[in-house]
Each structure stands twice: as structure tokens, then as C-alpha cells.
Structure 1
Amino acid sequence: MNQRLSICMLLFVLFSAPIASAAPPALELKSGDRIIFLGNTMIERSQKFGSWESVFLRSFPQAKLSFRNLGWSGDTVWAESRGIFDPPAVGYQRMIKQINELKPNYILLGYGGNEAFAGKDGLPAFQAQLQKLISDLKPTGAKLILVSPYRYENEGAPLPDPAKHNQELKLYADLLQQTAEKGDHYFVDLFSQLIPEPNGDPGLEWTTNGIHLTKAGYERAAGIIAVDLGLKPIELSPAVADEVTQLTFDKNREYFYNWRPQNITYLLGFRKHEQGQNAKELPQFIPLIEAKEAAIHSLVSSH
């Protein structure tokens, strides 16, 4: 009787215990793969330096990869920066349509930094919209890489001490990690690793103003991306690395002109009746971009 009771109790424990989500498979990129960077200012500014793209390129040097940066300064999971002269919901639908047309294999998401200004009370709304975004991206078949926001540095007076806001950023970083674990997505923890908890005298090391990353800040973040995703990037000679960085900058600038031309209202918006005929020039950037991507691959693969 006691033996039978023990077996029943063991089975109860086994089958009632929560089942942990399986970790996503090791990240493996192959020729033809496209990675989209989607998110806020952190994502948009990353295209200036190229270190985030470089860490993927150098981890799979024989793979012909392409990257498309769709970051938009000040953006949120509601696409609040993307409406232009339309409501954010319209900008959101344009964003989803553009992503589908780009046919990505991976999407690196950088959100939570702006949403954290809503504090703890904003978490439920952020979580709901994040889940909607993930659901709306699912038809692409792309694997998701969720990147957390990072701590702010303390620059000192007259700027406020970021300690309280850093606690709010942690709440959003934790939610992103939980979302990644539940959804079997990749996760990069910048909050815990990029900028140490400010202590002692105020000062800046990784940002220009306590918030926006410097070149060194992006390079440090790239190293964290490599570790958290299990990447093993090769080293390039300084000359080759400089050439790849310049080509990456030029390529990203041309893609920016392709999808966010300065006169977008005249070319694609409500005033296109005035200059819309010139929108035919936008696709002419694509061959220029692809030529630079081929040059980047040649440099990295032969190193």
C-alpha cells in the first residue's frame, strides 16, 4: 500500500510540475539569410557604426547575409513614431507590410526603452502590444531576437539621477526576457551586462548623454550579443575592419534613403500628386546596396 501510494505521489509531482519552454536552437545563419533590425533609437543609431551587423558577419564569414535596419527614433511597439501624417496604427500596418515584403529570416527587436517611461503601470499595455507585434510578425516565419533596454548612465547635474528610471527599465527588461523564454525566442540581456549600476562620481563611459550609446557602447553591446547568442566571431585586420565599417555605413545610408526619403510626403504621401513621379528613383538604390553587400561579403569571407 505504501509503495503504491509513493508511486502515485511521484507521478503527481512529475505531471503537475510546470514544463519549461525549450531553449531556441543554436543560432545558425546561412547564405541568403536576411536579418531585420526593428525598434527604437537604439536600433536606428546602430546603423551608423556597423558593429552589430559585423558580429553576425564575422560569426558566419562564408554566408552571404543581408541586413535591413528599420529602426525609428523614439519608436514604441505601437509604432508611435511611424505614422508621419497618419495615426500610429496606420504606420504600424505599413511597418508590418514592409517587413513581410523584405522576407526576413531573423528579426532583432529593440523595444522597451521608451515604453519604460510609463513605469510599472505601463507594463500590462506594453506586454499586450508586444504580444500583438510578435503575433503579427509570425507569418514571416522569421526567428525573433529580443534585445532588452539598458541602464542609463549618470551624467550628473543638471541632469537627473537615473536610478529610479533604471528600476523601471529593469521591469521592462525582465518582461522581455520572460516573453522570450515563453515564446522560445532568442534573448540578449543588455540591461544586466552593458552599463554597470551607476555608483560613485557621475560620469559617462558608454553613452554621449547618459542614454545614447557611443561607438564604444555599440561595440560593447555587440560583444554581449555574441555571448548571449553563442556566436564566435572571427577577428578582422584593422584595415579590413575599417573598410567593412565604411561599406556598412554607406549601405545603410542608401537603404535609409530608399525607405525613408527626406521628401517622403511628396514622393509617397498625401502630396505625391506634386512629385510622386520621382518615386520611381527609390528602387534604384537597391542595386547600389546589393553591390556593397557583395563587397562586404568578399572582404569578410576571404579574411
Structure 2
Amino acid sequence: MRQRTVVVLIYSLFAFLCLPYGLAVAQTKPQSVAESPTSSFVLKNGDRVVFLGNSLFENDFQYGYLELALTTRWPDRDVTYRNLGWTGDNVFGVARGSITNPPTPYELLMEHLTKAKPTVVFLAYGGIEAQEGEAGLPAFKEGLTKLLDKIDQLGAKAILLSPIPILSADSAESLTKRNAMLERYAATIAKTATERSTPYIDIFKPIQEINRKGALTENGIHLNETGYYYLTTILEKGLGLPPRTEPVAITVSKATVEAAAPAKMLDSAANSASLKFTIHERYLPLPLPIEEFGRTIPGQIVKISGLKKGFYRLTADNSEVITASAKQWEEGVEIRQGPSFEQVHEVRQMILKKNELFFFQYRPMNTTYILGMRAHEQGRHVKGLEEQSILIKWLEGQIAVNRTPVSRVYQLTLLK
């Protein structure tokens, strides 16, 4: 085990040292990010965000969307993220049990939560408990209350999420029945949030509505990459966060070229054959799913009117982004690739690697032999688990220096 841990550390370190140089060092000094005037949700320096719940959170280990979204929203602040999601879990931590007892599953849940030292806890339960029907509601309410009491004792702020709906089933009758019960549990969560003045975000109805336009899951229950993309945008909206991008509008006339914020012209002379400008990007873009089905949330839209007929290529820092006709530029072109997307892709990969290391650190496959009742046999490997914190911390540092948008020079050129 010790040898394997060292190999993983060396391999991961080597992989990251091979990242493109521009993403291996700090690029610019982070600028302060203004908060949305309508949002009361703010992450501060030193905050520790924990995602606690069932498979809704655990499965995001594959995609990293939730952490990436919050990380890039406050690029000037050092915030720690820990995903404690556990497939099949409920408010009593039942899925966390092992043949080692004590600790009991509930004690292990409390241990995981306490050790994470959270200041903000996103709580997602109810999906498993809803299988107990109406009879399970009182116990669920009791367990949820105890869990919220614990979060209060730790001095953290809880944000409650509803369960997500079942998106497909063996029959329409089964689908309707199961979702009706999930809504009953969601209502209990919402009522508890109101009673305790705790933030609550309904993700049930938005996910159900979006799914009518395409598939968000692979099995009707667990979200796929597209599903997590949309879940992330729903959470951002539920937290009151502003849109990630503002549309860019540039007008070319006979005498001048004018741009509205967030764009700024670098050459105001009227020359529709070549335009140079910058875009003030407050946040890195949220990377698009590999497979989409007609997104309802647009990316960065660039509109350029007054161009002569023809096709124009847009580059960013001399890297090609997209080519479109003058008519298309006038209608508005969505930017979906380029250096900013490459940068956020690298940040996302760092998050995924960091979370993978943490996953096997806090719940190693041979827990009983390392941490449990047979620790007398292999308990020496605890040190190997602890050593992974070094690389986790290093990755968090790399994320910190690469999560800030970089000022880029865009150029639109008429193709001959």
C-alpha cells in the first residue's frame, strides 16, 4: 500500500509538471470579483465547502462541475472543497457502514463531517429515504434536523437541496408515483429550511423541465455529464449568482468602431477588414458537456454589426476561435472554444485529480485493514494516506494560480 501511494504521488506530480507552461505558473494578479447585488451567497477566504449527500454528489467526482463552478466564481479567494457524497446514503449515514463496528454508520458520517471542518455545507438527501414512502417521512425529518443541528454546532452554514426527479421508469404510472413521493420529501426539506431560516434550492422542478428537451441521465436516476452541467447552472441561479457572461456588441460605421462593455476596442479606426478588441471576462466559462442536446443557457455571445459582406475569422491571442459570415456576426455568434476554454479545462482536470486523491484517502478500499478492527495488520499504511495530503495541497495551489481569467486580445479578420 505504501509503495503504491508513493507511485501515485510521483506519477501525478510528473503529469502536472508536464502541463502547458502558461498554466503551470501564476498568470496575473487576481482582481477582486464584485458580488451580485441580489445574491446573499458569498464565499470568503478560508471558507471550507463540503458537499454532503448521496450519489447526487458522489457521482460528480467524474465531472467536477460543482466545485469548478464555485472555484471560478471567486478566483481571488482561497476556498477548500471536499466532496463527502456517498452513493445510497441517507441522513443517518446508513451506506457508510462497514464490517468495522464501531464506528457505526452514523458515527462515521459525523466523523467525516467533523474532520472536514466545514464553513458551508451543501446538503442533498431525500432520494434514498423517499423509497420508504409516507411512513418514512417522520424519521427523515428527525434525521435531517439532527444533521442540521450538527452543522450548526460546527459553526457552518447549511444550504439544503431538494432531491432530483426520476426521469424514466418501467411505466408512466411508476414514474408518476415515484416522483410524487420525491416531491413529498422535497416539501419536507423546504418546510424544514423555512422553520430554520436555512437556504433551500429546488432542483427537482428545473431538472424535470430541462429533461423534456433531452436526456440528462443514462438510467433515469443518475445524472450524466450533461445533467451535471445543468445542475450546476441551476445551483448558480438558485444561489442568486449573476450570469457568467455578458453579450458583446460592436458597431462598425464609416468613421469609427464602437464597443459596449464588457468589450474594449484596441483600435477604434474604422476598418471592418480587421478589428482588435479585448473582453473583460469576470469568470472563466463553464466547459460544455461532451454531448449536448440544444442548450438553453448560452455562452459568450459576440455581435458585430456594420461589417462588409464576407466571412470573418475570430482569433484570441492568435489562436483560431471561430469563423462566421458578416450576417452571422450581426445576429450574434456564440463563443464555445478558444484559450479561455482550454484554461478552464486544465483547471477542471486538476480538480478531478485532486478529488480522486481525496476520495481514496478518506475512504480507502481496504479500510478495515488500515483504519478498522484489523489495523494491527496494516495500520502502518495510515501514514501513506496522510502523505497524499501533500499532493492534494499542491494541486489546490495550482488551481489557485490558474482559476483567474486572463486578458486576451481578440482579432476579427476578413478572409480573402
Q: TM class by shorter-chain length? A: 0.7 to 0.9
Residue 123 of structure 1, CA deviation = 0.9
TM-score (norm 2): 0.63
TM-score (norm 1): 0.85
Structure 2 CA distance for aligned equivalents of residues 265 and 235 of structure 1? 42
Seq. identity, %: 35
What is the match of residue 179 of structure 1? 192
What is the match of residue 131 of structure 2? 117
Residue 285 of structure 1, CA deviation = 0.9
Distance 1:87 1:113, change over 3 A: farther
What is the match of residue 140 of structure 1? 154
User: What does 1:157-172 align with in structure 2 at a 5 Å threshold?
Assistant: 161-172=174-185
List per-residue Cα deviations over 1:180-214 (Å, max 9, x = no partner).
12212121211111123988xxx960001000000
Equivalent residue in structure 1 for 2:284, among 235, 238, 256 = 235
User: What does 1:246-265 align with in structure 2 at a 5 Å threshold?
Assistant: 246-265=349-368
Any stretches of 5+ residues in structure 2 without a counterpart? 1-38, 245-282, 286-339, 407-416
Distance 1:238 1:88, change over 3 A: farther
User: What does 1:192-207 align with in structure 2 at a 5 Å threshold?
Assistant: 192-196=205-209, 205-207=215-217
Contact 1:154/1:161 (<8 A) preserved? no
Distance 1:226 1:92, change over 3 A: same
What is the match of residue 295 of structure 1? 398
Q: Secondary structure at the match of 1:162?
A: helix
Q: Secondary structure at the match of 2:51?
A: strand
Q: Secondary structure at the match of 1:81?
A: helix
Residue 155 of structure 1, CA deviation = 5.4
Is structure 2 residue 201 aligned with structure 1 residue 188? Answer: yes
Residue 160 of structure 1, CA deviation = 7.6
Structure 2 CA distance for aligned equivalents of residues 213 and 302 of structure 1? 29
Structure with more of its chain in strand, by fraction? 2
- Letter of the aligned partner of 2:366 in structure 1? N
Q: Secondary structure at the match of 2:62?
A: coil
Aligned CA RMSD, in angstroms, stands at 2.1
Structure 2 CA distance for aligned equivalents of residues 30 and 198 of structure 1? 34
Residue 137 of structure 1, CA deviation = 2.0
Equivalent residue in structure 1 for 2:223, among 213, 237, 241 = 213
Q: Secondary structure at the match of 1:230?
A: coil
Computing the radius of gyration over CA atoms, which structure comes out larger, 1 or 2? 2
Q: Secondary structure at the match of 1:107?
A: strand
Structure 2 CA distance for aligned equivalents of residues 299 and 264 of structure 1? 34
Aligned residues: 275
- Letter of the aligned partner of 2:176 in structure 1? A
Residue 61 of structure 1, CA deviation = 1.6
Contact 2:130/2:185 (<8 A) preserved? yes
Structure 2 CA distance for aligned equivalents of residues 204 and 153 of structure 1? 11
Contact 2:92/2:109 (<8 A) preserved? no
Q: Secondary structure at the match of 2:94?
A: coil
Is structure 2 residue 117 aligned with structure 1 residue 68? Answer: no
Structure 1 CA distance for aligned equivalents of residues 174 and 52 of structure 2? 29
Q: Secondary structure at the match of 1:194?
A: helix
Is structure 2 residue 139 aligned with structure 1 residue 128? Answer: no
